[in-house]
Amino acid sequence: MCRAGTAAHEPGRRLLAAFLFCLPAVLLLLTACSTTPQDYPRTDDGVRQLLQDFADDYIRDTRSVGVVAGVILPDGAAFTAVSGKSDVLDPEKVLDEDTIFPIGSLTKNMVFAMVTELERQGRIDLDTPLKDCPGLGLPEEYDPITVRDLLLHRSGLPRESYTLTSIWPVISAEIWDGNVYEDYTTREGLIGTLSNSECRNAVSHPRIRYSNLGYGLLGLALESLIGETVPDLMETYIIRPWELRDTSFGPPEGKDDRLAGTHSGDIPFFWFRGRHVRSHDLGEGLRTAGGVWSSAADQMRCLRKYRETFLAIDRENPFSGASETVVHYNYYLVDSPAGHRCLIRYGMTFGVASFFGVDLDNRTAILVLRNNCDWPDGVGMDLMSRLERLLPDAESWPGTDADTSPAP
């Protein structure tokens, strides 16, 4: 009799178990649906709220330290949002759009713009081969490689080069907070690495291949040909003309109270999240690959320049052929979940991560700076997707003429 009663109630128990099992997923779905970007009004205040929710969601969901996010709308209006802390070691430090971060590979965008301006003013011929750059001291395999090849990642050089003798800095960084770029921070160290068999073989078979080593070498080639240091060139051709107030190679002097702390995230792999890690000095060797420090306010000025340029190019010759192996002006062209064409650029060094994105179809652009070393592309694409759902195209923004300003 007891068995029969148990069997009679079995279907009800299964239904109850299924309901309880599915309840968390249903609640999560309902919560997500209640805060999706489609629910935000297409107004300045709606965009501000979307941006703030994105920043708060990131800090809450990833247990990260701090984030500054910015957006430029189709009509050129710009907004920023902040969430979290600047530095776990200094709770009194303010995190805002004037906080100064290491921006990693977003440096390459600035270097690209600088070299373009140098060419425009006739100060450099991008087709100069490295054999004509005095004092570099490179093996003969590098002779036919040009400045343009380095600028466009066409030299064939790898991102970095790790051999049995150079793997120690990586191990040291993972375990003892060493400098993962230790072998490349000096001019001599970079040339020594470029002279190893891996790099010599790579440049013997040039191809498109994203390379930090190549951008480090680009800096040395520029100094050799022009006779000025890269920091001086950046100051003359980008920082002053673009009115950047808090941007320099390495931490700007006299502004320690505004420097973001650098913290563990996805990397180092064996550290708890949110622990203070050293900010890596890239020195003379790799500074053109990722050595700039800058604020969100300055990088929003840069983003406005890049956006105007890309929209002007896209009107004349539309970008196509999304691929994460082809580099367009230092950006990758990818398709968003909504099918928009997006030019993205992300950067990462130990302690920080950064992201630029330009949506060519709704003509928005975004910036995300974080003081955790997290994989940067997913977070940036999340913000781009939220904006796409709010603004499926440029005409979705009320009263916009799609900001068709000419390229600078």
The pLDDT of 46-55, averaged and rounded, is 96
Write out pLDDT tens, residues 132-154. Answer: 999 999 999 999 999 999 999 99
Averaged pLDDT of the chain: 86
CATH number of the structural domain 44-98+291-396: 3.30.450
Domain ranges of the chain: 44-98+291-396, 106-288
Q: Check pLDDT > 60 for residue 322.
A: yes
- The reported pLDDT for the residue numbered 323 is 74
Residue-wise pLDDT for 280-298, tens only, equals 788 999 999 999 999 999 9
For residue 53, pLDDT over 80 is answered with: yes
Give pLDDT, residue 325.
65
Rg, Å, the chain Cα set: 24
Widest CA span in the chain: 97
Phi-psi region of 87 (alpha: psi -120 to 50; beta: other; left: phi over 0): beta
User: Global pTM?
Assistant: 0.85
pLDDT at position 169? 59
Report the pLDDT value the prediction gives residue 125, as an integer from 0 to 100.
98
- Per-residue pLDDT band at 26 (split at 50, 70, 90): very low
Question: What CATH topology corresponds to 106-288?
Answer: Beta-lactamase (3.40.710)
* Residue 173: pLDDT over 70: no
Structure confidence by residue, pLDDT tens digits, 204-257:
999 999 999 999 999 999 999 999 999 999 999 999 999 999 999 999 999 999
Determine the pLDDT at residue 349.
84
Residue 11 clears pLDDT 50, i.e. is over it: no
For the beta sheet containing 248-249, the strands, ordered from the edge strand earlier in sequence to the opposite edge, are: 100-102, 292-295, 248-249
Burial (0-12, 13-18, 19+ Cβ within 10 Å), 157: buried
Q: What confidence score (pLDDT) does residue 165 get?
A: 57
% of the chain beyond a pLDDT of 90: 67
- In this model, does residue 392 exceed pLDDT 70? yes
Does pLDDT of 167 surpass 50? yes
Q: List pLDDT tens digits, range 174-198.
A: 565 666 677 788 999 999 999 999 9
Model pLDDT for residues 88-111, shown as the tens digit of each residue:
999 999 999 999 999 999 999 999
pLDDT of the residue at 266: 82
Q: Of residues 50 and 349, which shows the higher confidence score? A: 50
Q: Secondary structure of the chain in the HEC alphabet?
A: CHHHHHHHHHHHHHHHHHHHHHHHHHHHHHHHHHCCHHHCCCCHHHHHHHHHHHHHHHHHHHCCCEEEEEEECCCCCEEEEEEECCCCCCCCCCCCCCCEEECCCHHHHHHHHHHHHHHHCCCCCCCCEHHHCCCCCCCHHHCCCEHHHHHCCCCCCCCCCCCCCCCHHHHHHHHHCCCCCHHHCCHHHHHHHHCCHHHHHHHCCCCCCCCHHHHHHHHHHHHHHHCCCHHHHHHHHHHCCCCCCCCEECCCCCCHHHECCCECCCCCCCCCCCCECCCCCCHHHHHHHHCEEEEHHHHHHHHHHHHHHHHHHHHHCCCCCCEEEEEECCEEEEECCCCCEEEEEEEEECCEEEEEEEECCCCEEEEEEECECCCCHHHHHHHHHHHHHHCCCHHHCCCCCCCCCCCC
Per mean pLDDT, which of 42-51, 154-163, 264-273, 390-399 is the most reliable? 42-51
